[in-house]
């Protein structure tokens, strides 16, 4: 009951901050993360919380977001300023802790790394990253049907393929790729090769 109360309060607060589409997307990520948690034996409540909050820092303009980071002591690296799409995740981690009362480090990391990924990701981090990509409202990526199937079959391979896709996409757009994503890509590549040499 206490858990339910907590998630209802978080949703209420989040709905006031995010635009309606972003809010629905967040619920989609929460439900998808919960389903993946069932499949892989992860804590369902934690997956739901992390999914709900993953984009809590995603509102307002890019400049306003950078300003909010500075004001609240969230340090941004040169790489983050070069690929600003990742900043909302770092700011989101701060908000999840300071404004939504989350203390669990695994949940906070799942919020912080949902855009870039990183080497050595926890199972919860992978679940939220993947849920963000495949939740029901997503419709742009061509490989969605295959990724949706792969997500429930092999988390590590799914991470690897999603990171590969992101790398190709960013290259095509000539945007910078965050160092955490490059390390994540190498990490999952190694994992997969060790599994199936
Ligand atoms: Fe995001
Ligand atoms: Fe998202």
Per-residue pLDDT of the chain (197 residues; tens, 9 = 90+): 678 899 999 999 999 999 999 999 999 999 999 999 999 999 999 999 999 999 999 999 999 999 999 999 999 999 899 888 899 999 999 999 999 999 999 999 999 999 999 999 999 999 999 999 999 999 988 899 999 999 999 999 999 999 999 999 888 888 888 999 999 999 999 999 987 66
Read off the CATH number of the domain in which 20 is found. Answer: 1.10.3210.10
Give the distance (Å) from ligand 1 centre to CA of residue 112.
Answer: 9
Domain total in the chain:
1
**The predicted structure's pLDDT at residue 45:** 96
CA of 39 to the centre of ligand 1 (A): 23
Count of CB atoms situated within 10 Å of the CB of 28: 18
Distance (angstroms) between ligand 2 centre and the Cα of 148 equals 16
What pTM value is reported for the model? Answer: 0.96
Q: What is the extent of the structural domain holding 186?
A: 2-195
Alpha helices in 18-122 (DSSP H): 20-40, 44-53, 62-71, 78-82, 87-98, 105-112
172 CA to centre of ligand 2 in angstroms: 21
Question: What's the pLDDT score for residue 2?
Answer: 79
Q: For residue 65, how many other CB atoms are within 10 A of its CB?
A: 20
pLDDT recorded at residue 173: 86
Residue 70 CA to residue 92 CA, distance in Å, equals: 14
Rg (CA), the chain: 16
Distance 167 CA to ligand 1 centre (A): 16
Residues less than 5 Å from ion ligand 1, measured at CB: 55
Ligand 1 midpoint to CA 153 (Å): 24
């Amino acid at each position: 009951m206490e858990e339910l109360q907590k998630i209802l309060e978080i949703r209420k607060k989040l709905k006031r901050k995010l635009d309606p589409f972003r809010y629905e997307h967040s619920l989609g990520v929460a439900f998808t993360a919960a389903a993946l948690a069932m499949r892989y034996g992860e804590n369902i409540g934690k997956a739901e919380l992390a999914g709900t909050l993953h984009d809590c820092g995603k509102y307002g303009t890019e400049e306003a977001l950078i300003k909010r980071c500075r004001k609240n002591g969230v340090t941004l690296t040169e790489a983050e300023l070069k690929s600003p799409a990742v900043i909302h995740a770092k700011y989101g981690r701060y908000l999840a802790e300071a404004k939504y009362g989350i203390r669990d480090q695994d949940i906070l990391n799942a919020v912080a790394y949902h855009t870039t990924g990183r080497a050595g990701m926890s199972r919860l981090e992978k679940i939220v990253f993947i849920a963000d990509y495949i939740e029901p409202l997503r419709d742009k990526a061509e490989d969605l049907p295959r990724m949706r199937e792969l997500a429930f079959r092999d988390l590590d391979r799914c991470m690897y393929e999603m990171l590969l896709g992101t790398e190709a996409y960013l290259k095509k757009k000539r945007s910078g790729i965050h160092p955490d994503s490059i390390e994540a890509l190498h990490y999952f590549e190694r994992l997969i090769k060790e599994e199936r040499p």
